[in-house]
Amino acid sequence: MADNSDHGDVVLRFLSSIGRPAEAQQYLDLFRSEHPERFAIVHVADAVVRHAADALAVELRYLVELGLEPVLAFGAIEPRSAGRSAERLAQALGPVASRRCPADASEVTAACRDNAIPLVTFEREDGGADARFDAIADLAGALGTRRIVFVTRRSGLVPPGGRAISIIDLTTERDGWLTAGALPSEPQKLLRQIARVIDRVPHRMTVSVTSPLDLLRELFTVKGAGTLIRKGSLITRHLGWDGVDKPRLLGLVEESFGRALIPGYDQRPVLAVYVADEYRGAAIVSPAPLAPYLSKFAVGTVSRGEGVGRDLWRAMEAQFPRLFWRSRADNPITSWYRENCDGMVRFHLGGDAWWVLWRGLAPLEIPLAIEHCQALPPDFG
Ligand SMILES: CC(C)(COP(=O)(O)OP(=O)(O)OC[C@H]1O[C@@H](n2cnc3c(N)ncnc32)[C@H](O)[C@@H]1OP(=O)(O)O)[C@@H](O)C(=O)NCCC(=O)NCCS
């Protein structure tokens, strides 16, 4: 249980080994700060119970030891065996308390508050899968659930011949992935239902599809493991500081980088400021003699790994085909930058290794980009 600090330590060490220690702790703090019943609904596919109940039970026990009780759901995909699957998983959980509950928010909440994992079955056959997934959405809506995880045998939705998709943005990619042949039929059916659930739940929520062995990695790392499905962010573009809520923007940047900006940063000229809904993330592009310079790219710690950065990036690259920026060599985002730049060069500044990265620059301009990055005044104090 949560008060068993020895176990808690073991679990935290385990989480650190799959991600970055600070990341695991940050998610843990976030999950624990929420109402316990909002933590997650974990829908378990029949095949997972049949073939990997014990492996999943180990991961669920870890969660319970951290003080987190997910709501376990069964049957949305295969209703007939829902009751049996719930029983079987309860057995696999061993001494961990679990309780069968109807899909009723107050009963589920009571179980979570008693530190018991609620087991909810969705067995309705009238109305078909639509009605069952709607019932999950309604439970999530009533509980205020922050994430739903579909645990399937494969980790994520996998297109034919490809590897698991990392993020699906329903705002821009829904039609593409729901086109016949884009995904094999079962994952495509699941995606269609997931889109339906996200549309029906009134609050912000993410849904992911992952395997039992990747469940903790999905929950506790920014990068996640499996496929994350979400609605795209609303990106607002300001062509200058006008209209920007400066304290919120500067607060976001400072929180993201964990450092204080120098006084006067917000007096410097800007070409554009992109803000993702409710200041969850932002990109600041400033003028430079060579080409537009990406001065800040930041997403608040609680919103990372959900695709907000990608949404900002798309909006920005559409307007700035020529762009350059710099990044510390040890920044984990470098591997993603590598795929999204035309080129990158490593340089040193005051003993630290950096990359200068660019899009749309001519080869002869690259030394100028490096020079610019080396000569920039510090942004943080
Ligand atoms: C960099 C940052 C803006 C990314 O924002 P984000 O919203 O978490 O990014 P997304 O969820 O949109 O992910 C975009 C891509 O980066 C990958 N990614 C995100 N965080 C990652 C991490 N910690 N390690 C490895 N890859 C990561 C995602 O998997 C995704 O790749 P994909 O499209 O191939 O699946 C955010 O992590 C941040 O604010 N970091 C601190 C500030 C910073 O370092 N800014 C950049 C300075 S140069």
Considering only CA atoms, which residue is closest to atom 32 of ligand 1? 166
Q: How far, in Å, are 99, 236, 283, 311, 358 from residue 272 at the CA level?
A: 53, 10, 8, 15, 17
pLDDT digits (tens, 9 = 90+) for 132-185: 999 999 999 999 999 999 999 999 999 999 899 999 999 989 999 999 999 999
Ligand 1 lined by 243 (C-beta under 6 Å): no
**Residue 105: pLDDT over 90:** yes
Helix 128-143 vs helix 105-113: angle between axes, to the nearest 10 degrees? 50
**Residue 23: pLDDT over 80:** no
In the reported structure, the alpha carbon of residue 292 is separated from the centroid of ligand 1 by a whole-number distance in angstroms of 21
Ligand 1 lined by 308 (C-beta under 6 Å): yes
Q: What's the rounded mean pLDDT across residues 264-277? A: 96
Ligand 1 lined by 223 (C-beta under 6 Å): yes
Ligand 1 lined by 338 (C-beta under 6 Å): no
CA distance 44 to 150: 6
Ligand 1 lined by 327 (C-beta under 6 Å): yes
Residues 151 and 215 sit within 8 Å (Cβ to Cβ)? yes
Phi, psi dihedrals of residue 224, rounded to the nearest 5°: 70, 180
Ligand 1 lined by 380 (C-beta under 6 Å): no
pLDDT digits (tens, 9 = 90+) for 245-262: 999 999 999 999 999 999
Residues 325 and 342 sit within 8 Å (Cβ to Cβ)? no
pLDDT digits (tens, 9 = 90+) for 288-308: 999 999 999 999 988 888 889
Ligand 1 lined by 333 (C-beta under 6 Å): yes
Ligand 1 lined by 297 (C-beta under 6 Å): yes
Please tell me whether residue 72 adopts helix, strand or coil conformation: strand
228, 304, 339, 356, best to mutate for ligand 1 pocket (most atoms within 8 Å of CB): 304
Domains with residue ranges and CATH for the chain: 5-230 (3.40.1160.10), 235-375 (3.40.630.30)
* pLDDT for the residue 1: 38
Q: Which two tokens stand for residue 183?
A: 């995904």
Ligand 1 lined by 193 (C-beta under 6 Å): no
* pLDDT for the residue 10: 67
Of the listed ranges 84-88, 91-95, 218-222, 353-357, the least confidently predicted one is 218-222
The full length of the chain comes to 381
Helix 21-33 vs helix 5-18: angle between axes, to the nearest 10 degrees? 130
In the reported structure, the alpha carbon of residue 361 is separated from the centroid of ligand 1 by a whole-number distance in angstroms of 23
Ligand 1 lined by 167 (C-beta under 6 Å): yes
* pLDDT for the residue 53: 95
Question: Tell me, what amino acid is at 115?
Answer: N
pTM here is 0.81
Using a 10 angstrom Cβ sphere, with 0-12 exposed, 13-18 middle and 19 or more buried, the burial of residue 293 is buried
Q: How far, in Å, are 66, 80, 141, 351, 361 from residue 291 at the CA level?
A: 49, 61, 47, 27, 8
Alpha helices by DSSP H, the chain:
5-18, 21-33, 46-65, 82-92, 105-113, 128-143, 170-178, 185-200, 215-220, 246-257, 308-319, 334-340, 366-375
* pLDDT for the residue 108: 96
The per-residue pLDDT of the chain, averaged, comes to 92
Please tell me whether residue 300 adopts helix, strand or coil conformation: coil
Please tell me whether residue 76 adopts helix, strand or coil conformation: coil
Count of beta carbons in the 10 Å neighbourhood of residue 373 = 22
CA distance 104 to 330: 47
Q: Which atom of ligand 1 is nearest to the CA of 312?
A: 12
Q: Whose structure tokens read 């920014």?
A: 222
Element of type H or E holding 294: strand 293-299
For residue 8, name the pLDDT band (cuts at 50, 70, 90): low
Most confident among 59-73, 191-205, 219-233 (mean pLDDT): 191-205
In the reported structure, the alpha carbon of residue 333 is separated from the centroid of ligand 1 by a whole-number distance in angstroms of 5
